[in-house]
Structures are given as structure tokens and as C-alpha cells.
Structure 1
């Protein structure tokens, strides 16, 4: 089984940062563009074969900044979109907890056991992330792969790669504009922050 190195990057700051921003297509702010430029500098010497990115603007703009000067082939991957938060879109956790106290508490304890009103079931979300990884494992030639996505998408990827239970999901959420290197085979891997 060929080992792949995944370089996972969460998008930079957007005007919806601090809220539940899943399917909302928010662009990067000036701060977010600066963060993406800083990430580009940090990974400038890292060999990258290909980049897959979420087509939502905050991630696609980050990917464009990371890939354009290096002429890295960048491909949109709809499976990497953030979970759709339905009626929670654009709200802070405090606002959600005030309107749906029981559901909000259960969400933090077990996201797989909660369906957000009007949102995407966690099982559907984690299923598309799992399928993305399965397809990635079949791509034989690319060994150093840049993935630019969202907090939830990257946490779900890490959950799958490291074999962590859903109860670890929130512990795996990366910070904005963070970088994580993951050495991965289709049957598991190890991770380290950059």
C-alpha cells in the first residue's frame, strides 16, 4: 500500500467566522487572505503533487492563494464541503443554545446522534468524507496531496484516518489557517501539526 502525505489546511478567516458557517458561501476577509499568504510561505518548500479543495469560496480562495504561484494542479472536491448546518447557519453557539438548548447540548456530546433542523445528518456528512478518502486511496501516483477545506471536514477526515470515534470529533477541529501533515495509508495513519 503506497503511503501518501496529506497536507491539511483549514481556510482563512471569513466574515462568518465565529458562527456555524457550513453551506453558507462566505468569502475570505482581508485577514483571511493574509492568513492564506502566511500558510503559502510555510508550505513553500513542501513538495505537492495535487490539491483538492472545497468549492465553497473561503476554501477555494485559500487554495488559489496556496497553489497559484507554484502551478499546483488544483481540483474542486464537493465532498470536502462543510456540513450543512440548516437552521443553525450563521448563528453562534450561544444563539443556538438559547433556541435549542437540549439539541445543542446533545450536539456537543454526540454529533452523530443529532440531526440539526433543516441540516445535513452527520452520517451523510461523514459518509461523503469517507468516500472521498476511499477515492483518494485509489489515486496511485499522487503522494503529496494538499487538501484545503473546513474545520468539520478536516476533523472528519482525521477521525477516519486515525480511526477515532465520533466522540473525538470536536477535539480534532483545526484552527483557522492551520496546517497539519498526515502520513496515511488506506488503513490508517499518523498526524502531526506543522
Structure 2
């Protein structure tokens, strides 16, 4: 009898930026690395003979929790990848729910007929993942194997093992990041021992514990932005309002606030480069804005965030990272491997937010109202030498 541990990857960019990452190769978040450390502790006393993962960064990195402490080799398999989302890849859930509503609703309902252009259906994914996992079990008779895969294909695998038809898959609970499913395989008989267990995660580490999108009922607040270019007087008013509010909170006054002159410059640039001034929309209402500079830092392969702001009533609800996600998506497509921004040292909330999301101080420069930190976040595929 072969024992299989099927593990979902640690928290990745798509999970907190609310972007659709199937075959898109996203990175692990800061909290994701803490989840990997907890997973490592869970598996320390569990004998494992072989470790496999999909060939994407987020699974290969998570697999280090098991194969490195045990001195094993990591084997990668393309057929362990997430469901291919085709034309939805790296779009936000807010965008597809608004502009591709029928297909989005069929996806959420686990309609067997759902399939994106360039992607695959759940029935195709079920066949693929079940065949891949059964093949690995037969390749390791009598051994214990750890397999690192992705959330939706793990649900597909669970449905296949439990003989749940695709339209009824929506009743299966979602698997938390680094959640573990255990199977026992003997011949073609597959037994589910347990599924989607995240007992190694504290409430602070659990991704699903901090989100509300997956709950049918709940008193939490979970939204997903869609993004559009900013233009016109109404958008200019929003820019000046958010900038003035940020200035007032930081300095206790609106005196000397350069909101009007900065808006002039921002909207003039946006006429040539619409992607530099973006509004985050919640249904029909503006929720925040993102201003980018495509030239500053380009010689260092860095993308510069000039201004990032969220409506005051939306703060502390886990929404702001989506603005970061849009910046990272934009700059990564331009070949940049860092995102940078200036943050006042006196702005404690902003300092804590950016550092919690992987920004580090690269330099300090003088500012008219106090010192500014140049903060940088690496967005390339460089593995950490040590997991923490």
C-alpha cells in the first residue's frame, strides 16, 4: 500500500492580490513563507520516500518544506499543475465577474461545460490530476510520497476519489494554503484518509481564515477590484481628494499640499500612457488608485510606484494588496524584477504595510517634510536561500 500526501502550495500572489493564477507562475508571499515553516515542522517526523511537485515556482518552493530536511530530490511534473485558466490568466476576479459574467457564474457553479479559451475544463483537469497521482502511486509501491499541487486540481482529485460529479464539486470545502490531503493506494483502489487538513497553521497564518470570499455566509468584507484608466474631472477630483487626505493624515494639515500640481502632471502623463494612472473599481464605485512611473528606475530594472491610495472606509479589510498586485503585474510584463516606492519614515501605517508585503529599505533620501525611505520589493524568481 502506498501513502500519498497531497499538499497545496503556500500562500501565493494570486491568493492575496485576488488575481487568477492557474498556469501563471506566481511567487510566494511573506505569510506563505511562514506557512512553509509550519509545514516543515508538521512533516519532520513523517517518513517520506519521494517528493513531487508541479513545475511552477509556488509548488516547487513549498516542497522545500519536505525534501530539503529529508535530503531528497525534488521531481517536477507538468501534469500536477493547476487548472489552466486560459484567457483569464492574471486577470482579477473582479474583472472576470464583471465583464465575463456568464462564464464566471458557470465556473463558480462547477458547470462541466465551463472552459475558457486556451484553458481546460474541470473534467479534463480531473482526468489529468487523477492519472498523474495514480501513476506516482504505482511508481512507488509500498512507499510514502509527498505531492505538491494546487487548490482547484486538489478539489478535482478529491471529487474523483470520492466519486462526486463535477456539478456537485462546489459542495467540497476549499483547501487552505499548505493544506494536506492523505490518500492510500493499493492497485487501483484509492482510499481518502483525510482531506484539506490545515491543523499545522495558526489562525494568523491561515489564508482562508483571513478571507471571506469562500464563505457562503459571513460578516466579513471581501471584494475584488477591477481596474480602469483614470481620466476626466471626476477622476481628477478623486485623485486630489485621496492625495489631500493622505497628506492631512501624515502632516496634520493640508497646507502646502501639492495635490493639484501633481494631478496636473499625472493626468497629462496618462494621456500618453493610460497604464500609469489606474482606478480600482468595486462594482461601479471607485475604491482606490494606483499611479506608476514607467521611466524612473527602469535602468535598474525597477518599476516605480508614485502613489497608491485606498478609500478610508476600505482600509484594514485586506483590499490594499490588490493595488500592489496590479503594479506588480504591470511591471513584470515590462521585464522589471523589482518594484520600488518612496515612503515617509514618519508614515508608520504605510511603513508597516509595505514591509509586511516584502518591501525592504534600499536607501534614504531627504524630503521637504522629513526623510523618505526608498523601499524595494523583488518580484523575480529568485529562491530564498533559507525558508523562514
RMSD: 1.9
The match for 1:7 is: 5
- Which SS does the other structure have where 1:75 is aligned? strand
Alignment partner, residue 74 of structure 1: 74
Q: Aligned-pair distance for 1:117?
A: 2.7
Give runs of aligned pairs for residues 93-172 of structure 1, distance below 5 A: 93-170=93-170, 171-172=172-173
How far off is 1:137 after superposition?
3.8
Could you tell me whether the CA contact under 8 Å between 1:86 and 1:119 is conserved in 2?
yes
Q: Distance in 1 between matches of 2:13 and 2:34?
A: 14
2: CA distance, partners of 1:183 / 1:141: 11
Partner of 2:191: 189
Q: Relative to 1, partners in 2 of residues 1:72 and 1:152: Cα closer, same or farther, differing over 3 Å?
A: same
Tell me if the contact between 1:36 and 1:66 (Cα under 8 Å) persists in the aligned partners.
no
In 2, the alpha carbon distance for the partners of 1:181 and 1:38 equals: 18
| Contact 1:49 1:142 survives alignment (8 Å) | no
Please say if residues 110 and 168 of structure 2, whose CA atoms lie closer than 8 Å, have aligned partners that are also in contact. Answer: no
8 Å contact kept, 1:53–1:77? yes
Q: Which residue of 2 aligns with 1:92?
A: 92
Unaligned runs of at least 5 residues, structure 2: 200-388
Q: How far apart, CA to CA, are the structure 1 residues paired with 2:119 and 2:144?
A: 33
Distance 2:125 2:180 in 1: 22
Q: Superposed, which structure 2 residues align to 1:41-52 within 5 Å? A: 41-52=41-52
What are the ranges of 5 or more consecutive residues in structure 1 without an aligned counterpart? none
Match of 1:60 in 2: 60
TM-score with structure 2 length normalisation?
A: 0.46
User: Hey, which of these two has a bigger chunk of strand by percent?
Assistant: 2
1:16 match: secondary structure: helix
CA gap of 1:34–1:142, structure 2 versus 1, over 3 A, is farther
Asked if 1:174 is matched to 2:172, the reply is: no
| Structure 1 residue 181: Cα displacement | 2.1
State the distance in 1 between where 2:129 and 2:173 align: 15
Q: Quote how far apart the aligned CAs of 1:164 are.
A: 1.9
Counterpart in the other structure of 2:232: none
| Residue of structure 2 in register with 1:30 after alignment | 30
CA deviation vs aligned residue, 1:38-85 (integer Å, no higher than 9, x gap): 111011111111111011000001112321121123211111001111
Q: Distance in 1 between matches of 2:58 and 2:142?
A: 25
Q: Is the 8 A contact 1:12 1:36 kept in 2?
A: yes
Contact 1:39 1:179 in 2 (8 A): no
**Highest Rg: 1 or 2?**
2
Question: What stretches of structure 1 move > 4 A for 4+ residues in a row?
Answer: none
| Structure 1 residue 28 displacement after superposition | 1.2
Measured in 2, the distance between the counterparts of 1:65 and 1:120 equals 30
Question: Cα distance, 1:29 vs. partner?
Answer: 2.0
The alignment partner of 2:63 has SS state of: helix
| Greater Cα offset, 170-179 or 21-30 | 170-179
How many correspondences in the alignment?
Answer: 192
Using the alignment, how far apart are the partners of 1:4 and 1:145 within structure 2?
A: 8
Q: Which has the higher contact order (CA 8 A, sep 6+)?
A: 1
**TM-score between both structures, scaled by the size of structure 1:** 0.88
User: Alpha-carbon deviation of 1:145?
Assistant: 1.1
